[in-house]
Amino acid sequence: MTAPMTTAAVWLAVMLIGGIGSVTRFVVDRAVARRMARAFPYGTLAVNITGAALLGFLAGLALPKEAALLAGTAFVGSYTTFSTWMLETQRLSEDRQLRAAFSNIAVSVALGLAAAVLGQWIAGLL
């Protein structure tokens, strides 16, 4: 049995893994947005849906406490972005693109929940 990580090691790992998650978010968001080239925030949608699937998968694995903290909070927490989702939705509504704004909310919630359930189901198969 391995010893639990020290507090300093956990903080350092959260910083490093969180940095990797945020850079990954930036890369994925930009790649999808560039490919789609539309006013709708497809990049953020892709990031949040894949993040929900990954977090569901991690939850389904029943990881040890430190591993769950590092994978779920540090990586997925820095990878996904609630604040950007809300800001982009608000900007769509400011631009009077109400259908797109409400679609962003509905699609994000519906697909996010489905992705989390799917991720958890996949982990359960392992």
Binding-site residues, in ranges, read 77, 80
C-alpha 95/C-alpha 23 separation (Å) is 29
Helix (H, G, I), strand (E, B) or coil at 104: helix
C-alpha 28/C-alpha 38 separation (Å) is 16
Q: Which residues have a Cβ under 8 Å from the Cβ of 101 and sit 6 or more positions away?
A: 89, 90, 92, 93
Give the residue ranges of the annotated binding site for Na(+).
Answer: 77, 80
